[in-house]
Amino acid sequence: MTDPVVGLVLEGRYLLEERLARGGMSTVYAATDLRLHRTVAVKVMAEHLAHDPTFVDRFTREARAAAMLSHPNVVSVSDQGSDQGLVFLVMELVRGRTLRDLLQARGRLTVGEAFAVLEPVLAGLTAAHRAGIVHRDIKPENVLIGADGVVKVADFGLARALTGTGQTSHTGGVLIGTVAYLSPEQLERGRADARSDVYAAGVVLYEMLTGHPPYGGDTPLAVAYQHVHHDMPVPSDEVPGLPWEVDDLVARTTRRDPTVRPLDAGAFLADLEDVRTDLGIERVPVPTGRSTAGPGTLRPTNRPSRPRHPSEPGDPGTEVLGPGGTRPGRGARTSMLPGTGPGPAPDTGGRRPAPVPARLRPGVPPHIRRRRARLALALVLLTAITIGAVGWWLGSGRWTAVPQLAGSEQAAAIDLLQEAGLDPDCCEEQWSEDVPEGVVIAADPAGGEVIRGTDVRLVVSKGPERFEVEPELVGQPLDAVRAELDDVPVVLTEVQDYDNDVPVGHVTGFDPDPGTELKREQELTVYVSRGHEPVAVPAVVGLSPEEATANLEALGFTVERTEGRSADVDPGEVMAVTPGAGEQAPYDSTVTLQVSAGLPQVQVPDVVGRSQAEASTVLQQAGLQVQVSQFFGDKVFRQSPAAGETVEIGTPVTILVTFGQD
């Protein structure tokens, strides 16, 4: 059936071309990055989960966790998004198979091959642990083996940062993860750290050496019970001949008490290298689907095996004692008494054979009967414990009380939730004027009885909300400052003021000063320059034009000159200034100087024909002096300068007085 997703282009960039794998939560496609022209893998969340915020959050967390890592043994994640109703991750495409595929095809691996696979897995996990990330779901399905033999760790979907969280991932009260590889502390308390990944990696090593996980059961609860209450079996119980150093490595990395395991994947890797050195195990290529074991490699039988039942007399492939103490070896038949094994029964003539006396009856050896009795008792106890655990869980055991969290430090609140079997959803941060930074303001749910594994949302204080104005804004244009303060929730007030140094329209300062912590909606005054303050025009009348100009230009004025006449100011000196002396004028405005060109001028009035007295009066009123040349008579006969001529005030005018003519 054609996959409807194949052929889609996500976000105009990723062309989905081929479905590679499908799981319960997602499907992986080979795709082409149309922008960079490269082949990538695109993991698309299952449609029925795309609308569940919890699963979308897990999907996004995988992208963020993997994106934090840059290591050749970790599958890189380059993008994350949603388009056309599909939530997806874009990852490096690894052409090859999973370790699960390899184990199903090959059965168990040699010690050298198992080490060759596990070393790069631990190297990738070391990078994650050093970055503060716990994978939380190490299993063969999440170990990718490329066709070139490069091993990479994939699927950080359950990963969380070490700081502040240690819980196993829950969704809707259901534990997410593969129970066959979960550590006891994850199963019991929901806590996980780097040592939980070490435990899972130790289980994977066991499975590579034996061909199957250490525990089996009809239900996940039965498997979980064995992880919590039983020490891990050693691989040599299944594969005789394995060195005890390998058994010890598996045992040390899968201790039920996490405090006695290697601290992290880096410590596990160092222990593995020590075992390799002690045993002289040569390095072999990573198996990619066919045997590459060289001579001298520790190689058990490659046939898949099953866990041995305690009632079985021996392991497959071990020698069995025959009658008379002979060792028939593998595949040899052991002699049997008549009627106790295959072969024709003795002829009894149709009669029922006589019973064999008990002391002669072959029967089951006493040690076998005791072993079977112990097994039966163990099964009864396990069944009773399982039934009790299920009853406890379905009754009161599945419920727990939400502790009082408000007022607790964030780390302490997380510890309280984990101790109560709850999953901290950490953390929504909010500003608070009353609650110190890092202290829980509220939780949801805030109290009461809830199902174990429920997410409890923590709201943590970021402390008082404060804003600062950068000092660099002083001197910037007002429009630019408004844009910078647009996202600062303060009440802005603008005040215009003169400033002799800052250009018009630029900010001269703030109140409160820049760098002061401001509360939300606090008033912030912005002072804006109106330019240079006005300047008083100095007194320059009577000065030379050059001296007056220099004085005015020193104050920032532009100077213009005109001429005038003055009876009070000598020619060549400033006789007037506009604006007048002492008046306030804008900085860089124009001041006009009027320079004296001499006395004022007037036109000589016409006094010919007038009487001497009348002519003298008219001339004097015009500012002229009167000089009289008189002959007999009283009439002005002639005047000099003539009427209409322009002369300076005070110029003498001579009038000739003689007899008038009627």
Helix segments in 393-421, DSSP class H:
410-419
Spatial CB neighbours of 619, under 8 Å, sequence gap ≥ 6: 604, 605, 607, 625, 626, 653, 655
Sign of CA dihedral 64, 66, 70, 76: negative
CA atoms within 13 A on the CB side of 84: 11
What's the rounded Cα separation, in Å, for the pair 303 and 288? 17
Structural contact between residues 184 and 207, judged by C-beta atoms closer than 8 angstroms: no
Side chain identity at 227, as an amino acid letter? H
Verify cis geometry, omega within 30 degrees of 0, for the bond prior to 426.
no
AA identity, residue 615:
A
Catalytic residue among 52, 57, 137, 247: 137
Give, in order, the Cα–Cα distances in Å from 64 to each of 11, 58, 77, 252.
Answer: 19, 10, 8, 32
Is residue 415 part of the annotated active site? The answer reads no
- C-alpha dist (Å) from residue 136 to 126, 153, 158, 391, 454: 13, 12, 6, 28, 18
Tokens of 21: 């794998």
Contacts of 634 (CB under 8 A, 6+ apart): 611, 612, 657, 659, 660
- Find the largest Cα–Cα distance for the chain: 210
Q: Do residues 40 and 31 lie in contact, with contact meaning Cβ atoms separated by under 8 Å?
A: yes
For residues 616 and 634, give the distance between their C-alpha atoms in angstroms, rounded to a whole number. 12
**Two structure tokens written together for 418:** 């984990």
Compute the distance between CA of residue 34 and CA of residue 95 in angstroms, rounded to an integer.
20
Cβ neighbours for 528, distance < 8 A, ≥ 6 positions apart: 478, 494, 495, 496, 497, 505, 506, 507, 508
- What is the dihedral sign for C-alpha 87, 91, 93, 98? negative
- Is 577 within 8 Å of 594 (Cβ atoms)? yes
Residues β-bridged to residue 146: 96
Q: How far is residue 260's CA from residue 130's CA, in Å, rounded to a whole number?
A: 19
What residues are paired with 273 via a beta bridge?
A: none
3-state secondary structure of 248: helix
**625: its two tokens:** 């002096």
Amino acid at 575: M
**What is the b/e burial string over 172-182, where b = at least 16 CB atoms within 10 angstroms of the residue's CB?**
eeebbbbbbbb
**SS3 of 630-654:** ECCCCEEEEEECCCCCEEECCCEEE
Task: Find the radius of gyration of the CA atoms of the chain.
Answer: 53
Which is nearest to 438 in space by CA: 466, 410, 406, 404?
410
Please tell me the distance from the alpha carbon of residue 44 to that of residue 55, in angstroms, as a whole number. 12
**Total number of residues shown for the chain:** 662
Start-to-end CA span in the chain (Å) = 143
638 pairs with which residues across the strands?
Answer: 656
Residues contacting 394, CB < 8 A, separation 6+: none
What are the tokens at 248? 């010890």
> Catalytic residue numbers?
137
